[in-house]
Amino acid sequence: FTVRYGTLDRTNGPTVAVSKVNRHASYSSSTIDYDIATFTLSAAFAPGTNAAVVPLASTVPADGSAVRVTGWGRLSSGGTLPTALQKATTLTVTNRATCQSRWGSTNSITARMLCAHSTSQSACNGDSGGPLVQNGVQVGVVSWGPSTCLSTTYPTIYVNVANLRTWITSNSS
């Protein structure tokens, strides 16, 4: 498959082929833990206005701090896919214990997960694998969340980049 970059339009812009997918060996589809992979691209891409190398977090963002997610996922559960890149800017990091109590026995919120929530914006189907950033640094990767996408109760779950940074960097070329 290919990766599109350098554009805010899902249907136009340059692409580069993926030559290898590096999946985390400990990934579990039942717990959704270690939900991370890196791509090896078949060619280099040229950074520009809409494409850049983003630094990876080395520390977990503080509870209650603001984060932003972007993606071309659905605008609502079962809704349409947008052509223009979307962003959710009202998210805040949710304490792991609070996140676990809200999700209950649905799934364990592990150290490899980061929770963020807003009652007005969220990631949705199709945003998986997309970046969660804080001050230009990638702190998370969209993993899973409520089937309704936007929820007053349930935070969305992201891969904790700081926790898996060593794996990410050693599996990137």
Task: Tell me the per-residue pLDDT of 133-164, one tens digit each, with 9 for 90 and over.
Answer: 999 999 999 999 999 999 999 999 999 999 99
55 vs 53 pLDDT, higher one: 55
Report the half-sphere exposure of 16 (CA within 13 A, side-chain side). 15
The residues, ordered by sequence, that sit 6+ positions from 1 with a Cβ below 8 Å of its Cβ are: 17, 18
Exposed / middle / buried, residue 144 (Cβ in 10 Å: 0-12, 13-18, 19+): middle
φ and ψ of 158, to 5 deg: -120, 155
| Structure tokens given for 102 | 């809200």
Q: Is the pLDDT of residue 173 over 80?
A: no
Residues 110 and 160: their CA atoms lie apart, in Å, by: 9
Q: Six-digit token pair at 114? A: 């980061």
The catalytic residue positions are: 35, 128
Going by C-beta distance under 8 Å and a sequence separation of 6 or more, which residues neighbour residue 29? none
User: What mean pLDDT comes out for the span 37-56?
Assistant: 90
* Strands 37-41 vs 15-23: parallel, antiparallel or unpaired: antiparallel
Contact 50, 7 (CB under 8 A): yes
The pTM of this model reads 0.95
pLDDT greater than 80 at residue 84: yes
Q: Report the chain's mean pLDDT, rounded to a whole number.
A: 95
